[in-house]
Structure 1
Amino acid sequence: MTDLLIAMRTFVRLCERPNFSRVAAEMHASHTTIARRLDQVEAHFGATLFHRTTRRLIATPDADRLLVHARSMLDALDVAEQDFGPVRNQPSGLVRIGFTTALGLYYVERLGELTALHPALQLDCAMTDWQRDVVEDRLDLALRVGPVSDDSLVIHPLGLLARLLVAHPAYLERHGAAACAEDLLHHQCIAYAYGDVPARWTIDGRERVVGGTFRSDSSEAVHRAALSGLGIALLPAIRVRDDIEAGRLVPVLPDSVIAPLDILAVHPSHKRLPPRARVVLDFLKANFPGDRQGGAA
């Protein structure tokens, strides 16, 4: 790859994450090297692309104009490299995937099957419960809980993920079992929520605001709180099945109808999905742990 192409990749990343130090760490280069690459792009196009201060980089209108062309060029190059790679039709290279915690842990246990079929793939899994910015975090694919109404994203439905109400046996011994959904209002419910937004559980077709002494924006923290006996939690079935079988958790209101999570895979609409990412998307679809949806794009 020529020096200008490397410099253009650096420019795109600086637009997505305007911080010399962070981009330098990602690209395994020095701060000085990153600054020199940006100088090269500015000199080549005869434009000032960033206003630089001691604290931040501020993209100029010329940077916004060039970014459109740079992304299109680099995407086309990625596709060409895949087509003319050393092993024809063998996908290779890095794929960055944004996972929710529960699904991420599920898939990570199975990624060995994917890498065994495609040993030239490299997988970078960014695992958080909040929705990462697909472009800023340079993700090829990300999982979302639907619905998604963002025109900048291409949506691929994966399926429906069942959820269960569970609690530790010791908690139920102390507080008694819930006989109906209304009883949850008198229990310690472990809320999975963000900020000041109240937690709402839809059970048997009716939405209820629930709460208790503990809440978290991490599904893993909610899971561990349930295991410690802090209350009743609503969690993906794939996360608690082993605990139920082992007796660490007990289903609560097992006959109630709980709305499943609609899980989607997304990628940026401005960027063609490269073959290496398409292989990963197909793997996510084929190994989805819930009710799979057909007709995905």
Structure 2
Amino acid sequence: MSDLLIALRTFVRLCEKPNFSRVARELHASHTTIARRLDQVEAHFGAVLFHRTTRRLIATPEADRLLVHARAMLDALEGAERDFGPVRGEPGGLVRIGFTTALGLHYVERLGELTARYPALQFDCAMTDWQRDMVEDRLDLALRVGPVGDDRLVVHPLGRLPRLLVAQPAYLAARGMPASAEDLSAHQCIAYAYGDVPARWTIDGRERVAVGAFRSDSSEAVHRAALSGLGIALLPAVRVRDDIAAGRLAPVLPDSHIAPLDIAAVHPSHKSLAPKARVVLDFLKAKFPGEPISYPPQM
């Protein structure tokens, strides 16, 4: 790839993340190299693209104008690579995926099946329980929970993910097994929530606030808290099935109805899926650990 194209890609990332150090870490380059690439772009187009201070970069109007052309040029290059990719062989290259923690761990444990079929694939998995910006983080695919409602994204429904109330058997032996949802008020409920927003559980059609001595914005932390006996947790079934089978956790109110989570895979609508991302999307659909959704995905 020519030096100018490399420099343009660096310029685009600086527009999306206006911080030399962050872009340098991401692109595995030195701060000096990133600055030199920006100098090259500015010299080529004869324009000042950023006002630089000791603490931040501020894009100029010329940078906003060039960004439109740079993205179009790089998207066209990616399109040509996709067009000629099948001639060179099977799909390969780096695929960046944004996972929720529970589902991400499920899929990561099965990625060996995909790499056995497509050994040239590489993966960069951003695993968090909050929604990531796909453009800023350069994600090819991401998982979303619930309605998406963003026309910048193409939505591929994966299915519905069941959830279970669980607790450590020793905790239940000491505190008693709840006989109904009303009994939960006498128990420590492990809350999964963000900030000061209450954790709300809807059980048998009635919403209640989960109250206890432990709360976290990480589903994995909630899972481990349940395993340590801190109380009753509401978790995706895929995360606790092995624990229940091994006796590390026990189901609570197994006959109660808890609405499953609607899960979808999404990708940016401004460009089509590359073959490497398409095979990963097919893998996400095939290995989804919940109930399939019958309506067709968006095209």
Asked if Structure 1 and Structure 2 have the same fold, meaning a TM-score greater than 0.5 normalized by the shorter chain, the answer is yes
Give the distance between the partners of 1:214 and 1:61, measured in 2 at CA: 48
Instruction: Report the 3-state secondary structure (helix = DSSP H, G, I; strand = E; otherwise coil) of the residue aligned with 2:147.
Output: coil
Q: Runs (4+) of structure 1 moved beyond 6 Å? A: none
- RMSD between superposed Cα atoms in Å: 1.4
1:82 matched residue in structure 2 = 82
Q: Does 1:257 align with 2:257?
A: yes
Does 1:292 find its partner at 2:289? no
Q: Distance in 2 between matches of 1:145 and 1:85?
A: 32
Distance 1:239 1:219 in 2: 9
Match in the other structure for 1:245 = 245
CA distance in 2, matches of 1:293, 1:174: 40
Distance 2:7 2:269 in 1: 24
* Uncovered stretches (5+) of structure 1, i.e. residues with no partner: none
- In structure 2, distance between residues paired with 1:163 and 1:227: 16
| Structure-2 separation of matches of 1:21 and 1:226 | 39
Q: Structure 2: how far apart are the matches of 1:261 and 1:269?
A: 24
TM-score, normalisation: structure 2: 0.95
Pair 1:83–1:262, CA change in 2 (3 A): same
- Rounded to whole Å, the distance in 1 between the matches of 2:66 and 2:185 is 55
CA distance in 1, matches of 2:61, 2:146: 34
Match of 1:176 in 2: 176
Q: Which amino acid aligns with 1:271?
A: K
Instruction: Report the CA distance between 1:44 and its aligned residue.
Output: 2.1
SS in structure 2 of the partner of residue 296 of structure 1: coil
Equivalent pair of 1:71/1:271 in contact (CA under 8 Å): no
1:163 corresponding residue in structure 2:
163
How much does 1:197 deviate?
A: 0.2
Give per-residue Cα distances to partners, 1:134-193, cap 9 Å, x unaligned.
111111111110111122222111110000000011111111111111111221100000
Consecutive unaligned residues in structure 2, runs of 5 or more: none
Paired with 1:52 and 1:271, the residues of 2 have a C-alpha distance of 31
Quick one: which amino acid aligns to residue 198 of structure 1? Answer: P
**Structure 1 residue 224: deviation in Å?**
0.6
Contact 1:82–1:92 (CA under 8 A) maintained in structure 2: no
Question: How far apart are residue 47 of structure 1 and its match?
Answer: 2.2
The answer to whether the 8 A contact 1:190-1:233 is kept is yes
Aligned to 1:138: 138
Code of the residue aligned with 2:297 in structure 1: it is A
Residues 79 and 275 in structure 1, CA contact (< 8 A), matched pair in contact too: no
Matching residue's letter, 2:30: S
- Give the partner amino acid of 2:27: M
